[in-house]
Amino acid sequence: MSVHRFDPTALIASMPASLGYEPERQIVLVLFNTGSGERTSARSMVASFALADPVAPAVTRTCDAARQIDATYALAIVVDDRLVDSPPRTAPDSDVEVLLAALVDGLDRASASLAHVWMTRRIVAGSTWWSLTDASDHGVLTDPGQTAAASDREAQGCTTFSSRQALIDSVSPDPGLAAEVERWMPAARTRAQRARQRAGAQDSWDSHYRRGLLHTLFCIADVAAGEELAPAGFAELAMTLSEQMVLDCLHATASSEYQVQAEQLWTQLLRALAGPERAGPAALLAYSAYLRGDGVLARICVQAALDANPSHWTSRLLWAALDRGIPADKLPAWTRFGVAAAADLGIDLARTDP
């Protein structure tokens, strides 16, 4: 009896869009819960780590993620430009073989067996892929930019970057812009402190938070209209987002019709800020990315937030969720809380247009 061969071409080609960047010298794992038996809902998760990463922590993170979605099996793609992609094709080096053996053992213990391992030098159109276990199983990749995952990512207003470093750079401070904004920060901090003192003296905190929330929503509207903030505007908005109540309300933007514009504004702030005020927009972008399944960007942004302010409690909670591989569908409570908190301030974020 013939056995149907699984062609991984489309799956491998979709990985750059799934990760948000073209992986280099990495292992990419796709974890599946098929929804069979007692597992009632089919789910999947993509995880990746560098070939040079320490084995034990990488395997632990992967197995934790498999358990979180109750994965039934896993697929692995080794991306390494040092491989030879013409017969006789090279196998992974000994360090990668040790890593794969540890993954097999760990995933078996997590009840998510590693079903297939494929190799490729790069995930680009025309690159060859081949199976680690079957020398006769090989093929040529189609254009990653033409996959369904790439179309979905484009529809979300997101870019697929040429490398993980390029993705990191996209949310890192722009030296020139950050220097301009920093000149306005002392005055912005002083005004913010005086505003908080007035709110405390007059017991007008709701009005204070409402002004900050409206100011941020107007900035999102400006982004939607194609306008750009001036350096002084970035400084003022940075201080607004340092208010925890305003930040809590803005979690509602992650599931709204203006999520794309909000993410664009948070990204602009991360490019414009170099101080502790980066933590607020970084946490908002991390949460929004997490909800739409972009765990790579979420982790990068949470790390940026904690680097800016190690005690930022929202970011610490997000880091814990990412570290434990908690599925995004378990996090929308923050969005609902944001809607409710904004409603207490007299603003309906459930229906506000950008």
User: What's the pLDDT at 39?
Assistant: 45
**Per-residue pLDDT for 42 more than 70?**
no
Which amino acid is it at 329? D
Q: Is the link from the previous residue into 88 a cis peptide, with omega within 30 of 0?
A: yes
What is the band of 322 on the pLDDT scale with cuts at 50, 70, 90? Answer: confident
Tokens, residue 270: 């991360």
Q: What percent of the chain has pLDDT over 90?
A: 66
**Per-residue pLDDT for 165 more than 90?**
yes
User: What's the pLDDT at 120?
Assistant: 95
User: What's the pLDDT at 4?
Assistant: 54
Tens-digit pLDDT profile for residues 101-156: 999 999 999 889 999 999 999 999 999 999 988 878 999 999 999 999 999 988 88
Strand partners, 118: 77, 131
Average pLDDT score, the chain: 90
DSSP-derived letter for residue 128 is E
User: What's the pLDDT at 88?
Assistant: 72
Tens-digit pLDDT profile for residues 206-246: 999 999 999 999 999 999 999 989 999 999 999 999 999 99
**Per-residue pLDDT for 13 more than 80?**
yes
User: What's the pLDDT at 344?
Assistant: 95
3-state secondary structure of 108: helix
User: What's the pLDDT at 3?
Assistant: 42
For the segment 11-17, the average pLDDT, to the nearest whole number, is 96
- 8 Å CB contact between 349 and 269: no
Handedness of CA 244, 272, 252, 196 (dihedral sign): positive
Tens-digit pLDDT profile for residues 18-38: 999 999 999 999 999 876 555
**More reliable by pLDDT, 329 or 261:** 261
CATH 3.40.140 residue ranges for the chain = 9-156
The class level of CATH for 9-156 reads: alpha beta
Residue 243: what are its φ and ψ, rounded to 5°?
A: -80, 120
Which residue carries 């949470």 as its tokens?
Answer: 302
Q: Which residues contact 224 (CB under 8 A, 6 or more apart)?
A: 258, 261, 354
